[in-house]
Amino acid sequence: MHPPLSELLATAHVVSLPLAVKFRGIWSREIMLFQGLEGWTEFSPFVEYNDDEAVHWLRAAIEFGWQPLPKLHRDEIKVNATVPAVAPDQVAEVLSHFDGCRTAKVKVGEPGQLLSEDVERVREVRRILGPEGRIRVDANAAWNVDEAEHAFHALAEFDLEYVEQPCASLEELAELRERTHYMDVLIAADESIRKAEDPRAVAQAVAADVLVLKAQPLGGISKIVELSEEVTLPIVLSSALESSVGIAMGLYAAAAVKVLDYDCGLGTASLLAGDVTEAPMVAQGGSIAVQRPAVSEDLLERFAASSDTTAWWLERLERCYNLL
C-alpha cells in the first residue's frame, strides 16, 4: 500500500540545486524530497520526462521512504568519477572532487562538439589517471552505428573499460556489438534499459555486455534486486544526477545486489555546487559508505525552488501519484 498523497504533500520540499559544471545541458537540478517513515527520500525525474516515465521514479521514492530495506551485502560502494563534456584544461579540476576514485566515466557525443574534442578530453583523463586507471565513456545514445564504430576506433588507444549507450536502439547496439566484437570493447546499456517496457530485453537481445541500472528510473531498490537476479550480464549501479538523498537510494540498491563487479556511478554529488545535507555523499578513498544523509532544514530553505517551480512539481506529483 502506498501512503496517501496528503502524507507526501505534508513534508514535500522542492529544491533547485546548482551544479559546479554544466551537465546534460543544465546548470541546476530540480528535485522534490519527502520525509517518509523510514527517512528522507527523493523524487527527481528530469523535467522533460513525461508522467509515464516519471511514475517509476515516484514508486522508487515511496519505497525508499516508507518500506524497510532489503538485506545488504556490503557497507560501502566503490564509485567512479564523472567527467562532463568539459575542455581538457578543466578535467583536472573535475577529477579533484572525486577522492581516490580509480575509475572515470567521461561524457562524449555532446551536441555541438566534435569527436576530436572527445578524444582530447579522454586523453587528458588517461594522462591524469595513468595506465592503471580505468576509463569508461558515455555517449547518451548520441551516435548512429557508423559514427559509433568510428568513435570506437578513435578512442581505442585509451584502453576503455566500456562504452555506455553509444546508440539509441537495441537493434543498433546489437549491430555495433557485432561490427566491433574483434576490438574487445565492451558495450554498456543505460537508456535502453530504463526507458524500455521490459528492461530484460537488452540481455535477451544480446545487445550489450554490461547493464547500467538506476534505482529511481527502474522503480526502486526491490526492482533493481529482482532484475539483478534475473539477468546473467554484469551490472553497474548509477545515479541520475540526484541530491545526496537520491544517491543514498542508489547506494542501498548497490549494497542489496549479490554481485557487483564494477565501480558504480554513484559519486555524482561531487558535481553539485549545493546539496541538501551538510555532509554530502561523496567519495572518500574511492568509496562511499552506505547510509542515509541527514537533511538540513537550512539547506532546504536556501535552495528552495521558486513558487512557480514548486507549483509545477506539486501538480506533477499529483498526476504521477494517480498513475501508481
Q: Name the catalytic one among 22, 214, 223, 258.
A: 214
Residues 6 or more apart whose Cβ sits within 8 Å of residue 295? 33, 35, 40, 245, 276, 277
Please give, one letter per residue, the 3-state secondary structure of 57-90: HHHHHHHHHHCCCCCCCCCEEEECEEECCCCHHH
Model-level pTM greater than 0.85?
Answer: yes
Contact of 79 with 286, CB cutoff 8 Å: yes
The answer to whether 164 is a known ligand-binding residue is yes
Q: Name the catalytic one among 105, 107, 195, 223.
A: 107
For residue 156, what is its C-alpha cell? 581505442
CA torsion sign, 164 to 136 to 212 to 269?
negative
pLDDT (tens digit, 9 = 90+) per residue, 105-142? 999 999 999 999 999 999 999 999 999 999 999 999 99
Q: Whose grid coordinates read 554484469?
A: 234
Contact of 302 with 296, CB cutoff 8 Å: no
Residue 201 has pLDDT above 80, yes or no: no
The domain covering 5-70+298-321 belongs, at the CATH homologous superfamily level, to: Enolase-like, N-terminal domain (3.30.390.10)
Q: Is-catalytic flag, 258? A: no
Q: What is the DSSP string of 265-281?
A: B--GGGGBS--SBSS--
Confidence category of residue 197, pLDDT binned at 50, 70, 90: low
3-class DSSP assignment, residue 127: helix
**Dist. CA 21–CA 32, nearest whole Å:** 21
Number of H helices, E strands in the chain: 12, 12
pLDDT (tens digit, 9 = 90+) per residue, 137-163? 999 999 999 999 999 999 999 999 999
For residue 161, what is its C-alpha cell? 573499460
| CB-count exposure of residue 207 (10 Å: 0-12, 13-18, 19+) | buried
Interval 9-13 mean pLDDT: 97
- Other CB atoms within a 10 A radius of the CB of residue 108 amount to 26
- Which DSSP category does 304 fall into? B
Contact of 77 with 288, CB cutoff 8 Å: yes
Q: Is-catalytic flag, 214? A: yes
One-letter identity of residue 271: L
pLDDT (tens digit, 9 = 90+) per residue, 314-324? 999 999 999 99
Contact of 61 with 245, CB cutoff 8 Å: no
Residue 65 has pLDDT above 90, yes or no: yes
Q: What is the pLDDT of residue 196?
A: 62
Contact of 173 with 208, CB cutoff 8 Å: yes
Residue 61 has pLDDT above 70, yes or no: yes
Q: What is the pLDDT of residue 191?
A: 85
Q: How far apart are the first and last CA of the chain?
A: 10
Residue 54 has pLDDT above 90, yes or no: yes
Domain ranges of the chain: 5-70+298-321
Q: Angle at CA 138, nearest 5°, toward 137 and 141?
A: 140
Q: Whose grid coordinates read 537488452?
A: 202
pLDDT (tens digit, 9 = 90+) per residue, 215-264? 999 999 999 999 999 988 999 999 999 999 999 999 999 999 999 999 99
**Dist. CA 316–CA 321, nearest whole Å:** 8
